[in-house]
Structure 1
């Protein structure tokens, strides 16, 4: 995919190019990876995606490689330690949302459900295709992201507004908006 057409945001540097070529908009069903992307999208709110990607490995180290069970058990003291970690984005609300959201997913597991099924149910397990010809074609949010956000908030997820959720749905391929050739 190295020669694929890329949007302007994915042309800035090799890390952004690699992210677009290998991850963004490609269907994701691995639960740990879906959780990681949800967390990264919450960290990104108000910041650039490149900033988050640059800190991705440090976030993985800080949050047990996004092992959902381990993150769900993180204590307030552990979050306090991470608030001192200069290698990550140190926003208490965002870091607490990471633990909270892991706990919500653990409760799903206790009920015999998966986060993968939860996310993909909103599109009947079939990605929506959004034909995009230029960078400016993507809205900040859609009816789908508003619906998903509303349900996630009802289900006690945190930091899941419709703009963040739209970015998330795009990132994990629930909505496929990769540039058409």
Structure 2
């Protein structure tokens, strides 16, 4: 048995996330949207910061239901800016509302999950990286998806954020070749 990907360290929360969630293919449109939003909140921060606040985010954003969030306006933004459990960044909060509206358009048009998975040909891409230094920060796929999301109105979805997202949701399997979590376990 090999060693885990080194990025998760020894924090039990991070290890559990690495072992059971990161890189596992996810096809649920609402869950995919939540992960994209949380990756946007991560911009400029570490993922463990967001992971530690994830339940507070879920509570503050009322379960991350885009149909509900799309109706929000200044009162909800003000409420969230006062919530110490989340990252209180006006731009990211307002982007979440904008992104909910963009999500609803994609979901109605073709389905959010099929839309995203089409960028990887409908199945996970399995990379074979030996070290963390080999793993790119972005790829042509993350650049193309980022560009398309932005054209559809999404914000906080640059190519690096999008690459972290496709890794987290199992669209790309970037567990190192020595990592025991490399073998996918479908949800």
Q: TM-score range by the shorter chain?
A: over 0.9
Unaligned runs of 5+ in 2: 179-187
Q: How does 1:100-119 map to 2 (within 5 A)?
A: 100-111=98-109, 113-119=110-116
Cα offsets for 1:2-48 (capped at 9, x unmatched): x7731222123000001001111110101111011001100100001
TM-score (norm 2): 0.91
The 5-angstrom pairing of residues 56-67 of structure 1 reads 56-67=54-65
Unmatched segments (≥5 aa) in structure 1: none
Superposed CA RMSD: 1.3
Higher relative contact order (CA 8 A, sep 6+): 2
CA distance in 2: counterparts of 1:130 and 1:110, whole angstroms: 32
In the TM superposition, residue 108 of structure 1 has moved relative to its aligned partner by: 2.2
The 1-side partners of 2:98 and 2:148 are apart by: 16
Aligned pairs, how many? 178
Distance (Å, rounded) in 2 between the aligned partners of 1:84 and 1:119: 33
Number of the residue aligned with 1:154: 151
Following superposition of structure 1 onto structure 2, how do residues 72-91 of structure 1 map, counting pairs within 5 Å?
72-91=70-89
Moved over 6 A (4+): none
Counterpart for residue 16 of structure 2? 18
For 1:74 and 1:158, how far apart are their aligned partners in 2?
16
Which position in structure 1 is the counterpart of 2:182? none
- Can you list the C-alpha shifts for 1:68-87, whole angstroms capped at 9, x where unaligned? 21111122210111011111
